[in-house]
């Protein structure tokens, strides 16, 4: 069990030091990988002593959680503009296209970060929960936006999860270079039409 007493920074200088540690860690984890980075390297990159690192974090895993939080906040910023406005039913095609483009951008803005953090999520349930919560928040916002535009709420959550799966697969195929730019452009057209049709589809609950 960690025994160091963690300080919560309140003054500007202390907050800046903690933020510097998180940013330095983010960059090192992307460059070298989480497991190949040690706290001494983090301290040097952040221009603080190793002791200062342990003033704010129990251990490297504690830092990782803050780094994942930073990464997810950057992901969420990609959707803020699109999800902060009201839409009409006839805007659905453009909304889906905007969300698709935003998801592709969020995957490609730092491919090394995406690959490293997704690999860690497969091994660490606590880290995986960060991404599960991010997906849940994103889909809940999209659902609320669609309901406000008077789309049926029936099976809407299930439709959005299927749609998200389609887009995730497309994004992964692209960043793993399974498909090229031309194939991505064609796939985006198919995905937008498929997801638009899926959301507009009437689904009747089975009566048992």
pLDDT of res. 4: 63
Indicate the CATH number for domain 78-200. 1.10.357
Pair of tokens at residue 200: 């507009």
User: 89 Cβ partners below 8 Å, 6+ apart?
Assistant: 149, 150, 151
| Helix, coil or strand: residue 198 | helix
Amino acid 41: pLDDT: 97
CA distance 187 to 168: 12
9 neighbors 1 (Cβ within 8 angstroms): no
Supply angle C-alpha 110, 101, 29, rounded to 5: 10
Q: Where exactly are the structural domains of the chain?
A: 12-65, 78-200
**pLDDT tens across the length of the chain (208 residues):** 455 677 777 788 889 999 999 999 999 999 999 999 999 999 999 999 999 999 999 999 999 999 999 999 999 998 988 899 889 999 999 999 999 999 999 889 899 999 999 999 999 999 999 999 999 999 999 999 999 999 999 999 999 999 999 999 999 999 999 999 999 999 999 999 999 999 999 887 776 5
Per-residue buried b or exposed e for 143-159, using 16+ beta carbons within 10 Å of the residue's own CB:
bebbeeeebeeebbeeb
CATH topology for the 12-65 domain? Arc Repressor Mutant, subunit A (1.10.10)
pLDDT given for residue 1 in this prediction: 41
Tell me which residue of 130, 190, 199 sits closest to 162, measured CA to CA: 199
Q: Which DSSP string do the residues of 154-196 spell out, in sequence order?
A: TTHHHHHHHHHHHHHHHHHHHHTTSS-HHHHHHHHHHHHHHHH
Q: Nearest 5°: phi and psi at 186?
A: -70, -40
Model's pTM, two decimal places?
0.87
Distance CA 160, CA 139 (A): 7
């Amino acid at each position: 069990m960690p025994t160091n007493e963690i300080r919560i920074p309140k003054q500007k200088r202390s907050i800046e030091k903690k933020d510097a540690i998180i940013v330095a860690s983010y960059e090192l984890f992307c460059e070298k990988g989480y497991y190949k980075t040690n706290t001494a390297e983090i301290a040097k990159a952040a221009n603080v002593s190793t002791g200062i690192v342990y003033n704010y974090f129990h251990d490297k895993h504690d830092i990782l959680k803050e780094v994942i939080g930073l990464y997810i906040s950057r992901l969420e910023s990609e959707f803020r503009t699109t999800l902060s406005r009201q839409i009409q039913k006839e805007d659905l095609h453009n909304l889906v296209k905007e969300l698709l483009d935003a998801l592709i951008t969020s995957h490609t803005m730092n491919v090394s970060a995406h690959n490293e953090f997704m690999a860690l999520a497969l091994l660490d349930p606590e880290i995986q929960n960060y991404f599960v919560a991010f997906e849940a928040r994103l889909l809940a916002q999209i659902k609320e936006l669609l309901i406000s535009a008077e789309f049926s709420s029936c099976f809407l959550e299930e439709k959005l999860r299927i749609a998200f799966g389609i887009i995730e697969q497309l994004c992964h195929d692209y960043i793993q270079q399974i498909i090229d730019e031309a194939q991505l452009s064609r796939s985006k057209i198919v995905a937008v039409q498929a997801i638009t049709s899926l959301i507009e589809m009437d689904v009747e609950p089975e009566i048992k």
